[in-house]
Amino acid sequence: MRRLTDQQVDRIARGLASRLGTGTSPIAEDPGVAREGSPGASPAAVVAPIEGFGLGEGVYDTVDACVSAAAAAFRNLSAASLSKRGEIIAAIRDTMRLHGDELARLAWEETGLGRYEDKVIKNSLVTEKTPGTEALRPETTTGDNGLTLMEWAPFGVIGAITPTTNPTSTVICNTIGMLAAGNSVVFNVHPGAARCSMATVRLINRAVIAAGGPADLVTAVARPTIESATQLMHHEGVDLLVVTGGPGVVAAAMKSGKRSVSAGPGNPPVVVDATADIAKAGRDIVFGAGFDNNIICVDEKEVFVVASVADDLIAAMRENGAYLVDQAEMARLEKEIFAENRGPRTHGVINKDLVGKNAGEILGRIGITAGPEIRLIIADVLEDHPLVWTEQLMPVLPIVRVPDVDRAIALAKEAEHGFGHSASMHSRDIEALSRMARVIDTSIFVKNGPIVAGLGAGGEGHTSFTIASPTGEGLTYPVSFSRRRRCVMVDHFRIV
């Protein structure tokens, strides 16, 4: 793995952060996301070295120990005020501002997936744009019979299962949303990302305690396995499951008998029609599909382009860091990408060694030397090609030429496999954009931008790294981790 110098990484990260609008304090520019706590009242950031493995600071060796510690912490938090919750979250944000880059490096080194500089952006994004307690807006109804108040109440102890692709950012994002809603959480993280995830959990515990909150609001199983995940899913002390990952973990959570917020896989299609700003579409697609080497579930995974503008789109992509493979190169590449090619229009089995690798490293496997400016490999393929139908999680993007926009939308719908996850379209035709929005029916639909804009990175709105399409919450936030509670005052406090 090629290592960049710190200076190179800082330069790249700053450039990307400014492009994505996640620079030093994007929250200040986003009126939709308020900071918790009163201005200036935020506790001092916790400066502390990050240790990896080891018990303590929320890390326990058994699921039982995690759940019982988190249950005690939940009881303590329930006795605290809403403003204390806000202070705790402000302290977590401050700590992550200090340590987000370090955690990004740990995640990159441990998993070997993606790009360090993009992981820095992901950590910054969740730190700044995950909503906190301000998202819990009570509703009131008044009338002749008095007043009814609808409140958002916590579930209790949440069991959260996280992926290897966004390990630290999911832990940070889940934690902020779940604690803001008044819960505590037990994490069973991906075994391949345990070290960086434990470091994140330990830092969060330090921040909570420094803010005067209870220990163990966030706990984690020190050596997570599928068995410990299964145990957590069935533990009687767990009140809600929140799982983020592929189809296996979603199916397991939904069969557990517990309520679950389940965030599953995607295969986000992009449609480009003849009215699009092709230069911008090319730039945005290369940026989005190359972001963190395509391991994010929302990253563009296949393109359907109207034939009359296909050559121009490919040219625009090449100008922006894409390498176009020819047919002979594609035949060699396929052998590297698939551990098992199951044929046309079918999800193949991918070669795990290439997941999340740089485009240059993947090209190297077929004898092509490419510089660091190449962020994405593109291939001009027919619609049946298995690359179109496979969530590969690597920077290799198939492009399919289609006769017209309706065919493009129909194919996009099919290639998305009904996950209802994410999609995008580049077009200036309002009717076509609206048609695709209705047909594709995904939790995230981005018009004229990279799909990461749908995560609030360079687009408006809050972020989430748990996009729960199967269970319907979409981009999760504190309300997704809350119960509705009604409080009724009869015949008093009425409006007249």
* Among the residue ranges 5-13, 164-172, 363-371, 378-386, the one whose residues contact ligand NAD (CB under 6 A): 164-172
User: Residues binding ligand NAD: what is the number (CB under 6 A)?
Assistant: 27
* C-alpha radius of gyration, the chain, whole number: 23
Contact predicate 282/275, CB 8 Å:
no
Considering beta carbons, is residue 351 or 466 the nearer one to ligand NAD?
A: 466
172-191 positions binding ligand NAD, by CB under 6 A = 189-191
456-475 positions binding ligand NAD, by CB under 6 A = 465-467
End-to-end CA distance of the chain: 71
Contact predicate 94/184, CB 8 Å:
no
Regarding 58 and contact with ligand NAD (CB under 6 A), the answer is no
Regarding 242 and contact with ligand NAD (CB under 6 A), the answer is no
Regarding 216 and contact with ligand NAD (CB under 6 A), the answer is no
363-402 positions binding ligand NAD, by CB under 6 A = 391
* Among the residue ranges 56-64, 127-135, 245-253, 451-459, the one whose residues contact ligand NAD (CB under 6 A): 245-253
Q: Among 434, 201, 173, 199, which residue's Cα sits nearest to residue 296? A: 173
Please give the Cα distance from 17 to 172 (Å, whole number). Answer: 18
Taking CB under 6 A as the criterion, the residue among 17, 196, 207, 252 binding ligand NAD is 252
Structure tokens at 106: 């740990």
Q: Among 253, 198, 195, which residue's Cα sits nearest to residue 466? A: 253
Regarding 422 and contact with ligand NAD (CB under 6 A), the answer is no
Regarding 112 and contact with ligand NAD (CB under 6 A), the answer is no
Cα dist from 258 to 156, 180, 243, 472, whole Å: 13, 22, 12, 16
Please give the Cα distance from 273 to 269 (Å, whole number). Answer: 13
Considering beta carbons, is residue 172 or 276 the nearer one to ligand NAD?
A: 172
Q: Among 188, 168, 180, which residue's Cα sits nearest to residue 125? A: 168
Considering beta carbons, is residue 241 or 281 the nearer one to ligand NAD?
A: 241
Q: What are phi and psi of 242, to 5 degrees?
A: -130, 110
At its nearest, how many Å lie between ligand NAD and the CB of residue 62?
17
Using the structure block, give the residue that is written with the tokens 């795990």: 352
* Among the residue ranges 9-17, 74-82, 160-168, 282-290, the one whose residues contact ligand NAD (CB under 6 A): 160-168
Regarding 454 and contact with ligand NAD (CB under 6 A), the answer is no
Q: Among 130, 123, 127, which residue's Cα sits nearest to residue 33? A: 130
Considering beta carbons, is residue 199 or 363 the nearer one to ligand NAD?
A: 199
Regarding 246 and contact with ligand NAD (CB under 6 A), the answer is yes
What is the 8-class DSSP label of residue 44?
P
Regarding 446 and contact with ligand NAD (CB under 6 A), the answer is no
Using the structure block, give the residue that is written with the tokens 């194919």: 411
Regarding 165 and contact with ligand NAD (CB under 6 A), the answer is yes
Contact predicate 399/313, CB 8 Å:
yes
Considering beta carbons, is residue 137 or 352 the nearer one to ligand NAD?
A: 352
Element (H, E) at 240: strand 240-244
String of contacts with ligand NAD for each residue 285-324, x by CB under 6 A: ------------x---------------------------
* Among the residue ranges 11-19, 156-164, 270-278, 407-415, the one whose residues contact ligand NAD (CB under 6 A): 156-164
Please give the Cα distance from 261 to 250 (Å, whole number). Answer: 9
Q: Among 56, 29, 107, which residue's Cα sits nearest to residue 460? A: 29
Regarding 166 and contact with ligand NAD (CB under 6 A), the answer is yes
Taking CB under 6 A as the criterion, the residue among 171, 217, 229, 270 binding ligand NAD is 229
At its nearest, how many Å lie between ligand NAD and the CB of residue 403?
30
SS3 139: strand
Regarding 220 and contact with ligand NAD (CB under 6 A), the answer is no
At its nearest, how many Å lie between ligand NAD and the CB of residue 66?
14
Q: What are phi and psi of 238, to 5 degrees?
A: -100, 125
Using the structure block, give the residue that is written with the tokens 């290592």: 3
Q: Among 479, 461, 468, which residue's Cα sits nearest to residue 442? A: 468
Regarding 161 and contact with ligand NAD (CB under 6 A), the answer is yes
Considering beta carbons, is residue 77 or 171 the nearer one to ligand NAD?
A: 171
Where do contacts with ligand NAD occur on this chain (CB under 6 A)?
161-166, 189-191, 226, 229-230, 244-246, 248-249, 252, 263-266, 297, 391, 465-467
